[in-house]
Amino acid sequence: MRYGLFLGAFAGTFSTVDEVLSAIGGFQRTAGWRAFVAGAMAGPSLLLTGPDVQHTSMAIYILLRAAVLAARCGIKSEQFGWLFRPFAWQHGDVALMCLSSSQILSAWILKPESLPSSYISFLNKHGGKDKSVINSLRDIAFSDQGRHFDIVRKFYKSMNMDAPLDSNINTTCSVIHANQGCLSHFISFLGQAYLRSLPVYVPVYLIPAIIVHRQAILKKPLPIFLKTLIGTVRSSLFLSTYCASAWFWTCILFRATRCEPASIAVSTFPTGLAVSIEKKSRRMEIALYCFARALESFAICFTDGDAMLSKWKSKAPKRVDVVLFSIATSIIMHCYAQEREVFRSKYLNVLDWIFGIPHDPPIMQPPLVKVSSMSHLLGVLQDSKGHKPTLLPGTS
């Protein structure tokens, strides 16, 4: 109910402000900035989801999506395209995932309170280790080893494994996998992690396939279910490899150096390479989602560790999420009105659905034109059902 009210208010506010500015300032004169202002004005609609409900992670994620759109606009610019060339790097998604992994996984071990509780639960489950193991690694990293060794011994003893632990700092590998070798632990953990990953991705692929392709399933079910199966197997392999390699890289680095916060951050960096298993179209989606969490966690760790920043944090706006969301929607809506070609079709379809723009089969990919206002956009798309889109003056 609340989120439906939010979407309705967002679309209504944007359309109203857009039309008012268009009527007052003129189509042509306001075309370059009108959607930007209207998007910013519509952002506070997020408050309708609840006065006490914070959406910081979502706001950061949407802001990152807006940054991607802005980068795409910059790349196709003839004048400033060279500045945005690094954003077109083929493996940028993998690099972003590596950065995200370094922050998220090291925060999970060293400062779990910087991550949302739901995220911690997910990591605890797919990390495949008892809490005593994580606590012991944290103790060793902060030179307080030995406090949880008895609990770790009991945990591995319940699994019929011997963990040769003492107060020597070189016992990190024993904490992670007892008396098992690093490589053999990676292989055995990979199989266990894969079984844990399957229940995560079966609904992710199966439910959309049934809903989106419900008519095609009745006619040709085999190709759709085969595609769903391949996607599930592939994504499950990604998550299981991600988790298994996190422990493997940690073991490798701990054998070469001491277990300390910096080494944990470095050892979890290459874990992000596992995202290369995923389809190219999904890599950036996953990387951006994780990067949003990583940025939020990093900000919490950074402000908590600095007295001046902690003081600033207390004076910051109570609803930073609304501020970030408004900045993001201003960029996104500007691109939606002026640079529609920088959107992926599925996101463009979602925005068109929110604003009530019809999507008959012939116009599943709307004309890539710049529009003067929301009413003009609706007219263009409706006209495209049977005629060539016509542009108002000043919208070339």
Q: Identify the CA nearest to 100 among candidates 60, 72, 56, 69.
A: 60
State the average pLDDT over residues 343-367. 66
User: What is the pLDDT at residue 351?
Assistant: 85
Paired tokens of 69: 């759109």
CA angle in degrees (0–180, nearest 5) for 85-88-92: 120
Amino acid (1-letter code) at residue 394: G
State the average pLDDT over residues 31-49. 90
User: What is the pLDDT at residue 86?
Assistant: 67
User: What is the pLDDT at residue 311?
Assistant: 52
For residue 79, CA distances in Å to 31, 33, 234 come to 20, 19, 41
pLDDT digits (tens, 9 = 90+) for 78-90: 777 766 776 677 8
| Residue 366 pLDDT level (bands cut at 50, 70, 90) | very low
Most confident option among 1-5, 42-46, 202-206, 232-236: 232-236
User: What is the pLDDT at residue 357?
Assistant: 75
Give yes or no for residue 368 having a pLDDT over 50.
no
Report the alpha-carbon distance of residue 108 to residue 111 in Å, rounded: 6
Give yes or no for residue 326 having a pLDDT over 50.
yes
pLDDT digits (tens, 9 = 90+) for 241-269: 999 999 999 888 877 777 778 888 999 99
User: What is the pLDDT at residue 307?
Assistant: 47
CA angle in degrees (0–180, nearest 5) for 204-206-212: 100
Residue 339 CA, chain-centre distance (Å), reads: 23
| Residue 203 pLDDT level (bands cut at 50, 70, 90) | very high
Give yes or no for residue 370 having a pLDDT over 60.
no
Q: Is residue 366 within a helix (H) or strand (E), and if so which, with residue range?
A: none
Among 28-32, 51-55, 237-241, 279-283, which stretch is predicted with the lowest mean pLDDT? 51-55
Q: Identify the CA nearest to 38 among candidates 70, 10, 62, 68.
A: 10
Report the alpha-carbon distance of residue 290 to residue 333 in Å, rounded: 24
Of the two residues 336 and 364, the one the predictor is more confident about is 336
49 neighbors 3 (Cβ within 8 angstroms):
yes
What share of the chain has pLDDT > 90, as a percent?
A: 32
User: What is the pLDDT at residue 391?
Assistant: 42
328 neighbors 10 (Cβ within 8 angstroms):
no
| Residue 343 pLDDT level (bands cut at 50, 70, 90) | confident
- Burial track 130-145 (b if 16+ CB lie within 10 A, e otherwise): bebbbbbbbbbbeeeb
Report the alpha-carbon distance of residue 206 to residue 14 in Å, rounded: 35
Report the alpha-carbon distance of residue 50 to residue 58 in Å, rounded: 15
Report the alpha-carbon distance of residue 127 to residue 125 in Å, rounded: 6
pLDDT digits (tens, 9 = 90+) for 126-155: 999 888 888 888 887 786 655 656 666 666
State the average pLDDT over residues 84-105. 86
User: What is the pLDDT at residue 147?
Assistant: 60
Q: Identify the CA nearest to 246 among candidates 298, 293, 144, 177.
A: 177
State the average pLDDT over residues 23-51. 88
What share of the chain has pLDDT > 70, as a percent?
A: 78
pLDDT digits (tens, 9 = 90+) for 216-243: 788 888 888 899 999 999 999 999 999 9
Neighbours of 224 (CB within 10 A): 17
State the average pLDDT over residues 17-23. 90
User: What is the pLDDT at residue 99?
Assistant: 94
Paired tokens of 65: 């999506």
User: What is the pLDDT at residue 108?
Assistant: 94
Residues 6+ apart with CB under 8 A from 192: 128
Q: Mean pLDDT for the chain?
A: 80
